[in-house]
């Protein structure tokens, strides 16, 4: 059984769930509006430029989880999925997932965005396996910290290697779909890298390497 791995943000969905969650928190008045939005914008631009300090970003992004009861967080998350995520699901992404499901590949999403935000999105695509950045959870609450290796850039490769060791998989005849040059470390490891609506850097790299370039939009 081959691995068919998908990035989430701007690949399976037409937007960045991490960024959109931050915007949602601002719009609902859950965080300090302008200050939070300004920082969220800066971090997103750093991500797009490939110079994001992932630990610094995670301290920012996970802090709101530590300030509220989980019951409130889950209620807000349900609203977020309905209002901001379901409208940007992509029929072509569902088709790509189903193509791999039909031939018996094991489906996985691997994403830098934390599991709290991404787990319900991945379930909408019927995908059971998710590797994501892990928020720390203790005594019934999120702490604002993260556990283990952030699932970002080379961290995606390390986290996937850990998963494959535990589950006795390898990358033989594997696929990885992504939009971002931040995913080049993993794209270069798999048998079949696919650039999906790629950013400019990934587009140039894919053209040079002769990788398929597709659109889910």
User: What's the sign of the alpha-carbon dihedral 153, 155, 158, 162?
Assistant: negative
Active site residue 53: no
Query: In what helix (H) or strand (E) does residue 200 lie, and over which residues does it extend?
Result: helix 200-209
Active site residue 179: no
Q: Which two tokens stand for residue 189?
A: 């490891």
C-alpha closest to that of 18 among 55, 50, 60: 60
**What are the φ and ψ backbone dihedral angles of 92, each rounded to 5 degrees?**
-65, -30
Q: Which two tokens stand for residue 16?
A: 């960045």
Distance CA(156)–CA(37), nearest Å, equals: 27
Q: Which two tokens stand for residue 167?
A: 């589950």
**What are the φ and ψ backbone dihedral angles of 192, each rounded to 5 degrees?**
-130, 85
Distance CA(131)–CA(148), nearest Å, equals: 12
Distance CA(214)–CA(34), nearest Å, equals: 36
Helices (H), 84-199: 91-102, 115-124, 154-167, 184-187
Distance CA(31)–CA(94), nearest Å, equals: 33
Name the residues annotated as catalytic.
7, 9
């Amino acid at each position: 059984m081959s691995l068919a791995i998908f990035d989430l943000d701007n690949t399976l969905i037409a937007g960045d769930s991490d960024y959109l969650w931050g915007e949602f928190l601002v719009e609902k008045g859950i965080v300090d509006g302008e200050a939070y939005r300004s920082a969220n914008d800066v971090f997103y631009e750093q991500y797009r430029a490939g110079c994001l300090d992932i630990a610094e970003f995670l301290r920012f992004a996970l802090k709101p989880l530590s300030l509220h009861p989980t019951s409130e967080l889950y209620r807000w998350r349900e609203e977020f999925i309905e209002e901001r995520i379901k409208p940007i699901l992509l029929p072509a992404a569902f088709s790509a997932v189903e193509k791999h499901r039909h031939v018996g590949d094991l489906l996985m999403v691997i994403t830098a965005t934390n599991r709290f935000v991404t787990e319900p999105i991945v379930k909408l695509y019927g995908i059971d396996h998710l590797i994501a950045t892990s928020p720390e959870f203790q005594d019934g609450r999120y702490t604002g910290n993260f556990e283990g290796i952030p699932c970002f850039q080379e961290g995606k490769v390390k986290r996937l290697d850990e998963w494959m060791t535990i589950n006795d998989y390898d990358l033989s005849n594997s696929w990885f779909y992504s939009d971002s040059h931040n995913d080049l470390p993993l794209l270069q490891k798999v048998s079949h890298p696919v650039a999906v609506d790629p950013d400019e850097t990934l587009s140039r790299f894919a053209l040079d390497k002769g990788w398929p370039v597709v659109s889910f939009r």
